Amino acid sequence: GAVVSQHPSRVICKSGTSVKIECRSLDFQATTMFWYRQFPKQSLMLMATSNEGSKATYEQGVEKDKFLINHASLTLSTLTVTSAHPEDSSFYICSGMRGRDGYTFGSGTRLTVV
Amino acid sequence: GESVGLHLPTLSVQEGDNSIINCAYSNSASDYFIWYKQESGKGPQFIIDIRSNMDKRQGQRVTVLLNKTVKHLSLQIAATQPGDSAVYFCAEMDSSYKLIFGSGTRLLVRP
């Protein structure tokens, strides 16, 4: 089946530094990739939608200058958390879209900012 | 002031019993719905889906029911097993193909 590989699975960074999270679709072309954030005991909240070769579309309340998304190829999308702060600590999950109704999720990245 | 965290509702069932997890969705125009299972520290795992032109769909040990009149989805798990313990989310696809997740239910299976 379709697989999205997400790395790293866990990362700890110092406050003020930047962290990059990668999602690769291994056996399909993900023209669209969705990025979610999930706080403990809460649901997945959509942050942004990225389409290959174009600028990402951010949901209301998500700072585009803080969460930089790049979707340079059909198999790779990256999320960079810039100038991270403790409140950015969360579980970040990507999802690649396979056609109209197929979504494959990555395994998530646990970000801890200290 | 002090913030109040959200708590997932929990359904506790005896191993071997049937489980029913409910979900209310928000957009009457949504035409595709998916149930996901999420284990701790992992991404969501697809369980079953249903389109708005159906009101019931069955899989292996799972059944999804859709009531468009009241915008309600349910997931039925037959003969619940310890491995079914997880958090379950419903999700609806909007007109721009975004998946919007519901609030989730934690399923605990008692041995």
Nearest residue, CB atoms, B99 vs list A41, A103, A110: A103
Contact B97 A100 (CB under 8 A): yes
Contact A46 B97 (CB under 8 A): no
pLDDT single digits (tens) B15-40: 999 999 999 998 888 999 999 999 99
Q: Is A45 on the interface with B (CB under 8 A)?
A: yes
Distance from CA of A82 to the nearest CA of B (A): 23
What is the rounded distance in angstroms from the CA atom of residue B109 to the CA atom of residue A30? 36
Q: pLDDT band at A109, cuts 50/70/90? A: very high
Q: pLDDT band at A1, cuts 50/70/90? A: confident
Q: Is A35 on the interface with B (CB under 8 A)?
A: no
Neighbour order of strands in the sheet with A19-25 = A4-7, A19-25, A76-81, A67-73
Burial, A39: exposed, middle or buried (Cβ in 10 Å; 0-12, 13-18, 19+)? middle
Model pLDDT, residue B16: 97
Q: pLDDT band at B7, cuts 50/70/90? A: low
The candidate with the shortest Cα–Cα distance to B45, out of B62, B68, B24, is B62
Model pLDDT, residue A100: 62
Residues of A in contact with B5 (CB under 8 A): 40-42
pLDDT single digits (tens) B47-79: 999 999 999 999 999 999 999 999 999 999 999
What is the rounded distance in angstroms from the CA atom of residue B60 to the CA atom of residue B38? 18
Q: Do the beta carbons of residue B102 and residue B75 sit within 8 Å?
A: no
